[in-house]
Amino acid sequence: MTLRLRQIGDPILTQVAEPVSHFRDPDLHRLIESMLSTLKDSNGVGLAAPQVGSLLQVLIVASRPNPRYPDAPQMQPLVMINPQLLAASSEQVLGWEGCLSVPDRRGLVARSREVEVEYYTPQGSRQRVVWQDFPARIFQHEYDHLIGRVFLQRHP
Ligand SMILES: O=C(O)C[C@@H](Cc1ccccc1)C(=O)SCC(=O)c1ccccc1
Ligand SMILES: [Zn+2]
């Protein structure tokens, strides 16, 4: 089922998501399936649960080569539950971003070039990953969604 993508102005996008506590909850797995199909239908490279109305710490990173990042890796969508940013390089890079919740807007955003992340898979196993460049950028964009930050949004 494809879920409605919340747009800028929807208060849920400025709230902080809660950690997942029950990995065997069938609602969690229904949410993950819905996010994967929403991501596919929207042709995005990332998605965070608040964007589909769920204040849970679930995000997906799905880098693929594209006109702005032609050497981006082609990734199977990676579902990350309760992600934690363990380290972020002080070296930052400016790059173009879009947001499925802010249609028709592109913006230049400074992000750490490298991140180290710890997360849980839908099966509940703890993993660590180190990303650079576009996957690192996508992660930081999605991680912002989990703490109620939307790119280019200036709080009045
Ligand atoms: O709103 C989102 O979280 C999805 C967003 C993720 C993102 C794109 C670009 C940089 C960082 C994070 C999108 O997928 S926007 C639409 C899109 O498909 C796209 C935009 C720019 C480059 C490649 C794809
Ligand atoms: Zn976004």
Tokens of 113: 């070039």
- For residue 136, which ligand has an atom nearest its CA? 1
Provide the mean pLDDT of the chain. 95
82 compared with 2, residue with greater pLDDT: 82
Over residues 12-33, the pLDDT tens digits come to 999 999 999 999 999 999 999 9
pTM for the model: 0.96
Most informative mutation of 47, 54, 97 for ligand 1 (most atoms within 8 A of CB): 97
Instruction: Over range 85-109, report the average pLDDT.
Output: 96
Nearest CA to ligand 1 atom 18: 44
For residue 154, what pLDDT is reported?
A: 56
DSSP 52: G
33 counts as catalytic: no
d(CA 81, CA 56): 9
Centroid of ligand 2 to alpha carbon of 39 (angstroms): 11
* Ligand 1 centroid from CA 125, angstroms: 27
Of 154, 146, 18, 13, the closest CA to residue 85 belongs to: 146
- 83 closest CA partner among 30, 137, 23, 143: 143
For residue range 32-74, what is the model confidence (pLDDT) as tens digits? 999 999 999 999 999 999 999 999 999 999 999 999 999 999 9
Q: Is the ipTM of this complex over 0.90?
A: yes
Q: Whose CA is nearest to atom 6 of ligand 1?
A: 46
Q: Whose CA is nearest to atom 20 of ligand 1?
A: 98
